[in-house]
Amino acid sequence: MSIELANESGVEAPAELIIGAARFAVGAMDVNPAAELSLLLVDEDTMADMHVQWMDLPGPTDVMSFPMDELVPGGRPDAAEPGPAILGDIVICPAFAKRQAKEARRSFDHELAMLTIHGVLHLLGYDHAEPEEEKEMFGLQNSILEEFYAERHRIAQVQRQSDRDTKLLTNIGFSDIASVDAAPDASDPGHTPPKDT
């Protein structure tokens, strides 16, 4: 999966988290791993211009998605394997997201991960114009977000354990381990001291 992120917003944002959320959402939706996705972070003026131009709505918004290739599931078994699809572009406004997160009492990072997943679902054809669509899309979004956090937590636990193991082995030192293994324990009841001859 090729994901590019450009931050033109003037706001510092966690690129690794945003790319990770996008990659996880695309994987969770079983999109071809050769697909391409572009993420763009913009300021509020740019987002407001795009919002008017593409949605005919005033003011900035949090996220907009611009699908590129139409993804068609399935197909004939004898059809040629499709090439990599360009999913499209997701545009996020971090300044708007930061304000929105504060109002909703969520962290900025959480807001960005949620908006990224929301954007991916829009690229894949999900919408929330109607109540049933909204229920389906937000249910799926929340499920993917929860799984994303669970996976990040699992990876962090594995990394912490690996760091502890490395620190322990470094503190003990491999030469110390070898000498402990080689030296007999005099307090061991099965230990027989050497005899003078």
The 36-41 sheet, strands edge to edge: 2-7, 36-41, 86-92, 63-67
Of 71, 91, 82, 80, the closest CA to residue 26 belongs to 71
Residue set of the binding site: 118, 122, 128
| Distance from C-alpha of 84 to C-alpha of 1, rounded to nearest angstrom | 9
DSSP string, 29-47: TT--TT-EEEEEE--HHHH
Residue set of the binding site for Zn(2+): 118, 122, 128
Pairing of strands 63-67, 36-41: unpaired
